[in-house]
């Protein structure tokens, strides 16, 4: 199967531009922010625009999602190819679901419409800009975040399902002594840390762009909901990190258990032979055979220690650091913003 042909909408967007996805993200930041500043100058609201941290946070979130979605997509495509080459497991069906752009785009469009409706229904009157053009600009940024976030959530759920399905599919084919197998399983588990850091940064951008935006007259309910949003986000980030990790852990634990079971069976056979020899009356035969069996038992004991020392969790310091950052960033942003919000007054 040509896994490389399956790409999300943002993957295709990045492919359509001449530079790498990191440069595309920087271009997006410059373009969207430049448009906002230019319109605010033309409309005489440049002072407010320069103090507008919300629009900048929203633009950063959009650009970051464009960058990370392609990065995660490339990681997924590499995993799918390696799983097929190493284990002979074709994950085509589950892989297609991740890149079902009709489903992802449909959900993204619905979320985008809900965000725009909520903006004009509940928040437009509290926006610090007086011009409806600039308010429409903010609504456009919110719609983009809603669309990308909606379609990304569908992909995220499909990725978690994908890792779980692969883990079940290759469970009987993993060799605990094969370094290539262990490395591939770690690569699969790394998806959890990539997804969590993606979610952590986006959560931080949303906190700044919405819950701590400098709304006119303040909106107490929005600030209060920010705390709830943060707590729910942390739970989701932990789940996104742990579910793929535990799925792969099950595979590694199973492979290790198979090796230990096989070793236990061999040890039982040797022990049975040793007991049979002890029942022999010829002492010289018993001593000679028993010595040979003892050597074999010693080898099995060493092998048992080796297998017992093999890891069962596909985790390393980089994954721990990424997950810790994914949780720490939004918490730090929340604490800093709570301290700064009383000092900001754009009314």
Of 155, 129, 163, nearest to 55 by C-alpha is 129
Of 220, 193, 201, 213, nearest to 331 by C-alpha is 201
Q: What is the CA radius of gyration of the chain?
A: 28
Question: What was the pLDDT predicted at 281?
Answer: 52
DSSP-assigned states of every residue in 63-110: HHHHHHHHHHHHHHHHHHHHHHHHH----HHHHHHHT-HHHHHHHHHH
CA dihedral 311, 316, 237, 150 (to 10 degrees): -100
Non-local (6+) Cβ contacts of 166 within 8 A are 83, 89, 91, 94, 188
3-class secondary structure, 234? helix
Question: What was the pLDDT predicted at 188?
Answer: 92
3-class secondary structure, 302? helix
Question: What was the pLDDT predicted at 15?
Answer: 80
Question: What was the pLDDT predicted at 137?
Answer: 92
End-to-end CA separation in angstroms for the chain: 58
Question: What was the pLDDT predicted at 38?
Answer: 94
Per-10-residue mean pLDDT of the chain, 347 residues long, equals 83 79 84 92 89 88 90 92 90 90 95 91 82 91 93 93 91 85 91 93 88 69 77 93 93 86 78 68 55 70 78 88 92 81 51
Question: What was the pLDDT predicted at 345?
Answer: 46
Burial 56-78 (b: 16+ CB within 10 A, else e): bbbbbbbbbbbbbbbbbbebbbe
Instruction: Provide the whole-model pTM.
Output: 0.85
Question: What was the pLDDT predicted at 202?
Answer: 92
CA 223 to CA 336: how far, in whole Å? Answer: 13
Burial 236-248 (b: 16+ CB within 10 A, else e): bbeebbebbbbbb
Question: What was the pLDDT predicted at 347?
Answer: 43
C-alpha angle with apex 146: 141 to 148, nearest 5 degrees? 95
Question: What was the pLDDT predicted at 346?
Answer: 44
**For every residue of 131-158, which 3-state class applies, written as one string?**
CHHHHHHHHHHHHHHHHHHHHHHHHHHH
CA 20 to CA 108: how far, in whole Å? Answer: 24
The structure tokens listed for 103 are 């489903």
Angle between the 220-278 and 179-206 helix axes, to the nearest 10 degrees?
170
Other CB atoms within a 10 A radius of the CB of residue 134 amount to 22
């Amino acid at each position: 199967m040509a896994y490389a042909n399956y790409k999300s909408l943002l993957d295709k967007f990045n492919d359509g531009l001449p530079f790498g996805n990191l440069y595309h993200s920087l271009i997006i930041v410059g373009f969207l922010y430049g448009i906002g500043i230019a319109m605010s100058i033309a409309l005489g609201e440049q002072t407010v625009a320069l103090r507008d941290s919300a629009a900048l946070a929203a633009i950063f979130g959009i650009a970051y999602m464009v960058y990370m979605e392609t990065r995660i997509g490339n990681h997924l495509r590499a995993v799918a190819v390696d799983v097929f080459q190493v284990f002979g497991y074709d994950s085509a069906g589950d892989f297609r679901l991740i890149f079902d752009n009709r489903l992802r785009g449909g959900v993204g469009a619905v979320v985008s419409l809900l965000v725009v409706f909520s903006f004009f229904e509940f928040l437009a009157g509290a926006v610090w800009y007086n011009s409806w053009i600039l308010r429409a600009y903010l609504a456009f940024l919110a719609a983009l975040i809603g669309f990308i976030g909606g379609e990304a959530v569908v992909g995220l759920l499909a990725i978690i399902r994908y890792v779980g399905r692969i883990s079940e599919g290759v469970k009987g084919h993993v060799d605990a002594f094969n370094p290539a197998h262990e490395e591939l399983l770690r690569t699969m588990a790394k998806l959890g840390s990539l997804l969590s850091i993606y979610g952590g940064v986006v959560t931080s951008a949303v906190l700044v762009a919405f819950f701590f935006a400098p709304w006119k007259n303040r909106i107490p309910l929005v600030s209060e909901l920010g705390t709830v949003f943060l707590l729910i986000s942390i739970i989701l980030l932990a789940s996104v990190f742990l579910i793929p990790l535990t799925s792969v852990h099950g595979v590694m634990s199973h492979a290790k258990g198979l090796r230990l079971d096989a070793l236990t069976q061999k040890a039982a056979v040797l022990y049975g032979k040793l007991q049979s020899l002890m029942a022999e009356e010829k002492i010289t035969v018993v001593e000679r055979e028993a010595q040979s069996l003892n050597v074999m038992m010693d080898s099995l004991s060493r092998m048992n220690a080796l297998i017992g020392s093999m890891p069962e969790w596909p985790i390393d310091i980089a994954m721990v650091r990424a997950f810790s950052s994914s949780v720490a960033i939004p918490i730090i942003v929340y604490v800093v913003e709570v301290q700064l919000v009383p000092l900001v007054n754009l009314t």
